[in-house]
Amino acid sequence: EPEVTQTPSHQVTQMGQEVILRCVPISNHLYFYWYRQILGQKVEFLVSFYNNEISEKSEIFDDQFSVERPDGSNFTLKIRSTKLEDSAMYFCASSVDPRSSYEQYFGPGTRLTVT
């Protein structure tokens, strides 16, 4: 069965460093999402992406964050200058077409630890 994959599974970085989290969505999916979960807190929406542009973003998704689909298969989340509070589990998701009630398929997550 097709699945969403994410790499790395765990990333440790120092405060102020740039990180890129990678996701490979399911191949025929057109809608992509990033969510994150700070330990012990809710899973929070960050951004949705369609047709090579951001369709919606949350207040969390400030200028330090960016997303890209560089090569038609990968979907990346970049954090330009990491802060301690960016430590969280980051989930990528993809969907065929959410407006037709197709579900979002999630990857296993990348645990980001900022020291």
- Site for another protein, rule CB under 8 A: 3-4, 6, 31, 33, 35, 37, 40-45, 48, 50, 55-56, 58, 91, 93, 98-99, 101, 103-109
Tell the smallest beta-carbon distance from residue 28 to another protein (Å): 17
Cβ closer to another protein: 31 or 114? 31
Q: Residues 24, 75: contact at Cβ < 8 Å? A: yes
Cβ closer to another protein: 1 or 71? 1
Cβ closer to another protein: 65 or 106? 106
Cα separation values, 37 from 43, 56, 89, Å: 4, 18, 5
**Which stretches of the chain are assigned E, i.e. beta strand?**
5-7, 10-13, 19-24, 31-37, 43-50, 53-57, 65-68, 75-79, 88-95, 105-106, 110-114
Cβ closer to another protein: 20 or 30? 30
Tell the smallest beta-carbon distance from residue 95 to another protein (Å): 8
